[in-house]
Structure 1
Amino acid sequence: MAEKVNNGGKGGNPWLTTAWTTATAVILFLPLVAMQFTEEVNWTVGDFVFAGGLLLGAGVTYELAARIGGLAYQAGTVAALGTGILTLWITGAVGIIGSEDNPGNQLYLLTVALAIAGAITARGRAGRMVWTMALTSVATIAAPVIAYAGVAEPQGDVLAPEVFAATAVLAAGWSLSAFFFSRAAKHQ
């Protein structure tokens, strides 16, 4: 049986904090090393600050989730954080619809904003998080449809198979999060 770490009654696990901060440092170190060997990786200070803030923010969010709920709640949080980070990273780096400069990609960023706003409104309650993640999944599926209706330039980029594949993966991530939150809601 696993022992709970005693850290003065503050809750949380100091090893968990060490793990995600170390993981953030390692992830940020990889492009720094790659920049020494190739010109294809060309991060600016702003890129490192953005990525570091994104990863540290995800770690802090997970720490809070670990204090709130059980394993299903934590799995829902991990699925949501992973999907959100993946959405932001892909959209910022290469874009889902055409290049990263295509205005249609802003719709995917709105799905992350929807997830964040919904999570804040839900106040972390698992039952409400189910609806937030389900709506975010639907919004993700709607993004290329809305883009094709006139937001994306050129519109042909929306019909590329990789747009459908990326959209399906992201929608599945939000749906997986909703599934885990529904399991957590049943145990509250």
Structure 2
Amino acid sequence: MSVSSLEKYLPENALPFLRKWFGEYYIHIKITRGRNSKLGDYRKMPDKSHQITINSTLQPQLFFFVLTHELAHLIAFEQFGRKIFPHGAEWKHTFREMLLESISVYAEDLKPMILKFSRSPKANFMASPELVKYFHIEDFHDESSYIEDLNIGDRFLYRKHTYIIQEKRKINYLCKNLDTGKIYIFKPLARVEKLN
């Protein structure tokens, strides 16, 4: 897939940054259906090319943000070698520089959040409550809630299973699946449906 064919997924003025970052690398971009487990993924292929998968359902600014995250993996590995940690200091430095370089692509109300995030980029998008809430803004009309907005003892539905919040540990929540009796850890920004 060529850089230009990504245009329909991107915010305005994003293509020049992608053209620069893609450079001479041979990159396969795969646009996938929405995945709950991840927004994007990077892999070095056996033939020395690179593969990036990214969810097609993302809003343009989030699509660009996730693509920047994945390209930062490629660029960091190419610059610093394959022995670096995937989300280590080299990746953080690379991602930070790319975010700052492309800050003009983002909406005015999003720029302060991107700047704040760039100070110490996180491996997981879900670790940034401001960004998660910003990009889920249209979803607030539905019946779902963030688990952090519920109380200990509240029951909720998640992927057709009923859970009860048992306790909070640091920032995560221990929840019991009432169908199986098993205990699971939920991140604070997991979207769930509260039960009365």
TM-score after normalising by structure 1: 0.28
- Structure with the larger strand share: 2
Q: Which has the higher contact order (CA 8 A, sep 6+)?
A: 1
TM-score after normalising by structure 2: 0.27
- Structure with the larger helix share: 1
